[in-house]
């Protein structure tokens, strides 16, 4: 057999089969990229009979020429180069995707030339494009599915909250709790499917912000304590003493998600006994600390032969578990992916009838108190039943296409004595805004006729001040990453998720509400006497300055909002400084101290004060714009 192969090579059949008759196009070019030789496969691939004497680069797509020239420079300097993709002009004026590997003859025979082995990868690229399009279609489907399923669930949750506030018999209360539990389970399933999709698409981005480890863990446990008590279970936290502060840098939201999933599972599969959460810290290299969590229960346990598959997609220890306890079989898969994507590890040990222990380790960086995004003292702000301030009389346009959700929101807003107007879609909302004045708009995103994003863009672009500057709050069930940026880019000021917590909505509305004041008080916002004095009472100059303020200041405010959202303290300080001369020209001396406070707090990254001050500044400047736009100078 070896003799036949050697004869095959000696007779140059090998050269004929590989070079002359092979499917790859073989070029030999000099260092000026002039084509000296090509094999017959050129005709089958590109349609040309001969390109000898032509310059290779002339057949490259204009947008690819620069990158191909750079690749050739690398090829000239090295013996080999590989996997260079480019688009080659064919004889029928179409382009095909090719990929070449190069051999530099200078290193082998001292000849200034390159052998280019080119393979047609058009089909592969088309498949890639189709896969990308399929992924986008899937993500859009999931976003739509999320909205369509969340909308009725949110309506159910809202109606339950309203019913609970009314008088109910013990049996009715029990039925309401059962309905709420079912709605919560549906919410968990939807979240699992969405998270699994986002992780699979590679679009999940982890935050790097400060959080208090102990406080974060305690908060998760507190949120699940009632659920455990309903089953007669106790949840205990054990933490080893650690000689350093427990402020770390990482993604607390994803940590919460892992803990909630594991503790929820422990509660679900434990009928009696307790659940113990333990955490310990050990310093690692590069100023990292490895945090080890253990979630141990006294539940039903997992059979040995099922332990290896427990983290697989759509797998549960037993098919009967899905029927008996519900769930998607995605929760543990998501936990494993979230842990490993943060360079961590997760494992499980279990004994049937005695319980299960999940252990996971995640490395975090050390943080300082200044790194904290949420201060412990503010933790109960959104859940406190006490409301500071009033929004009585606030004029609100509620734009929501779902009757149940609209009914729930309207009921809550009317209890706060707000003046409410309703619209079923964006087109109706625009018509109402043309005819009436409002203090704020609560805008649903997915609506027929005209959706929330297009409606917001239309308000910002086609209305004149002050209506074009009205605060718009996205009121949405959407949960995909990046939605918040999309809303802000459309001109919205903030957003709140549905089903909304009434206190959270109240606090958000309070930030933007400024009760109507008398004309005498309103006139004190601006004073144009300084402009008149410096211009010798040139009213055209004064009008020009006022128009400039009305047109340009909202852009500065929008930039400040974005910088505040992104924690870009330097930018906030610069924008605050930029506003100072404008305030002087408009005679808005009462806002100078507020702007100075923003500038100073931005330097110390005092986020809480900056955020409140920015919101207050936005309200005041919008009022000033309204004053200047509606009052003759």
The sign of the torsion formed by the CA atoms of 224, 225, 230, 232 equals positive
pLDDT at 319 over 70: no
CB-based contacts of 143, cutoff 8 Å, min separation 6: 478, 480
Categorize the per-residue pLDDT at 207 as very low, low, confident or very high, splitting at 50, 70 and 90: confident
Categorize the per-residue pLDDT at 180 as very low, low, confident or very high, splitting at 50, 70 and 90: confident
Mean pLDDT, to the nearest integer, of 99-126? 91
614-631 residue pLDDT tens? 878 888 888 888 778 766
Rounded-to-integer distance, Cα 16 and Cα 177, Å = 79
pLDDT at 307 over 60: yes
Instruction: Give me the residue label for tokens 């004994």.
Output: 351
Lowest mean pLDDT among 222-236, 354-368, 490-504, 509-523: 509-523
Question: Quick one: pLDDT at residue 317?
Answer: 46
Locate the DSSP E strands across 141-287: 209-212, 234-239, 247-250, 274-283
Question: Quick one: pLDDT at residue 2?
Answer: 53
* Multiple choice CATH, 16-120, 3.20.20.10, 3.40.50.880, 3.40.1410.10, 3.30.450.20: 3.30.450.20
Q: Determine what percent of the chain falls in helix, strand and coil, rounding each to the nearest 5.
A: 55, 20, 30
Lowest mean pLDDT among 117-126, 166-175, 305-314, 531-540: 305-314
155-165 residue pLDDT tens? 777 777 777 76
What the block records as the tokens of 156 is: 């159910």
pTM exceeds 0.75, yes or no: no
pLDDT at 17 over 70: no
368-394 residue pLDDT tens? 877 775 444 343 333 333 455 788 889
Question: Quick one: pLDDT at residue 348?
Answer: 93
142-151 residue pLDDT tens? 666 666 676 6
What the block records as the tokens of 493 is: 């000021």
Assign a CATH topology to domain 395-512. Answer: Rossmann fold (3.40.50)
Domain boundaries 209-377, CATH class:
alpha beta
Question: Quick one: pLDDT at residue 326?
Answer: 44
CB-based contacts of 395, cutoff 8 Å, min separation 6: 418, 419, 421, 436, 437, 438, 439, 440
> Which has the higher per-residue pLDDT, 445 or 477?
445
Categorize the per-residue pLDDT at 194 as very low, low, confident or very high, splitting at 50, 70 and 90: low
Categorize the per-residue pLDDT at 441 as very low, low, confident or very high, splitting at 50, 70 and 90: very high
Please provide the DSSP assignment of 311-362 as one string: TSTT--S-HHHHHHH---S-HHHHHHHHHHTTT-EEEEEEETTTEEEEEEEE
Q: Where are the domains of the chain?
A: 16-120, 209-377, 395-512, 519-630
Mean pLDDT, to the nearest integer, of 228-244? 79
Question: Quick one: pLDDT at residue 521?
Answer: 43
Specify the 3-state DSSP secondary structure of 101.
strand
Between CA 404 and CA 183, with CA 481 as vertex, the angle to 5 degrees is: 35
Longest dimension (CA), the chain: 108
Between CA 229 and CA 233, with CA 231 as vertex, the angle to 5 degrees is: 60
Rounded-to-integer distance, Cα 268 and Cα 266, Å = 5
Phi, psi of 123 (to 5 degrees): -60, -40
Residue among 413, 393, 395 nearest 506 (CA): 413
Assign a CATH topology to domain 519-630. Answer: 1.20.120
pLDDT at 537 over 80: no
């Amino acid at each position: 057999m070896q003799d036949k192969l050697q004869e095959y090579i000696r007779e140059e059949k090998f050269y004929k089969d590989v070079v002359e008759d092979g499917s790859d196009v073989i070029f030999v070019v000099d260092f000026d990229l002039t084509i000296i030789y090509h094999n017959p496969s050129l005709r089958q691939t590109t349609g040309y009979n001969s390109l000898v004497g032509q310059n290779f680069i002339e057949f490259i797509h204009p947008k690819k020429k620069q990158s191909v020239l750079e690749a050739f420079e690398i090829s000239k300097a090295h013996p080999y180069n590989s996997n260079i993709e480019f688009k080659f002009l064919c004889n029928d004026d179409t382009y095909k995707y090719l990929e070449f590997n190069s051999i530099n003859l200078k290193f082998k025979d001292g000849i200034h030339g390159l052998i280019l082995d080119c393979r047609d990868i058009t089909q592969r690229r088309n498949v890639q494009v189709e896969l990308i399009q399929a992924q986008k279609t899937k993500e859009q489907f999931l976003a739509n599915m999320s909205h369509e399923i969340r909308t009725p669930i949110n309506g159910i949750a809202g109606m339950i909250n309203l019913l609970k506030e009314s008088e109910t018999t013990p049996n009715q209360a029990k039925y309401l709790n059962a309905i709420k539990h079912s709605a919560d389970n549906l919410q968990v399933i939807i979240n699992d499917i969405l998270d699994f999709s986002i992780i699979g698409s590679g679009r999940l981005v982890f935050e790097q912000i400060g959080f208090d480890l102990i406080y974060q863990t305690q908060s998760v446990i507190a949120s699940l304590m009632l659920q455990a008590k309903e089953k007669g279970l106790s949840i205990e936290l054990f933490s080893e003493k650690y000689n350093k502060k427990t402020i770390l840098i990482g993604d607390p939201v994803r940590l919460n998600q892992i803990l909630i999933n594991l503790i929820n599972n422990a509660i679900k599969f434990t009928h009696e006994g307790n659940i113990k959460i333990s955490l310990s810290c050990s310093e690692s290299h590069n100023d990292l600390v490895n945090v080890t969590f253990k979630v141990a229960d006294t539940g039903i346990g997992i059979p040995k032969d099922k332990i290896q598959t427990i983290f697989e997609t759509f797998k549960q220890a037993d098919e009967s578990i899905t029927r008996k306890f519900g769930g998607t079989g995605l929760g543990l898969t998501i936990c494993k992916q979230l842990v490993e994507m943060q360079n961590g590890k997760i494992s499980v040990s279990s004994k049937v009838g005695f319980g299960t222990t999940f252990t996971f380790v995640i490395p975090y960086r050390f943080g300082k108190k200044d790194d904290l995004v949420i201060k412990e003292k503010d933790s109960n702000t959104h859940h406190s039943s006490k409301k500071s301030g009033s929004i009585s009389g606030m004029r609100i346009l509620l734009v929501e296409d779902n009757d149940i959700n609209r009914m729930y929101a309207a009921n809550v807003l009317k209890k706060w004595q707000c003046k409410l107007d309703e619209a079923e879609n964006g087109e109706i909302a625009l018509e109402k805004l043309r005819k009436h004045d409002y203090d704020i708009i609560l805008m649903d995103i997915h609506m027929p006729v005209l959706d929330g994003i297009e409606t917001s863009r239309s308000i910002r672009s086609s209305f004149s001040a002050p209506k074009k500057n009205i605060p718009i709050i996205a009121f949405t069930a959407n949960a995909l990453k990046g939605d918040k940026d999309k809303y802000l880019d459309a001109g919205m000021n903030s957003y709140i998720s549905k089903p909304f917590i009434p206190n959270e909505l109240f606090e958000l509305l309070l930030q933007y509400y400024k009760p109507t004041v008398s004309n005498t008080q309103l006139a004190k916002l601006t004073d144009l006497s300084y402009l008149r004095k410096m211009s010798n009472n040139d009213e055209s100059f004064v009008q020009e300055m006022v128009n400039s303020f009305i047109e340009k200041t909202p852009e500065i405010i929008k930039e400040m909002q974005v910088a505040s959202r992104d924690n870009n303290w330097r930018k906030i300080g610069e924008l605050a400084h930029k506003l100072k001369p404008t305030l002087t020209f408009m005679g808005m001396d009462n806002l100078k101290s507020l702007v100075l406070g923003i500038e100073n707090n931005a330097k110390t990254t005092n986020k809480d004060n900056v955020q409140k001050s920015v919101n207050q500044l936005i309200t005041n400047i919008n009022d000033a714009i309204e004053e200047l736009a509606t009052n003759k100078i």
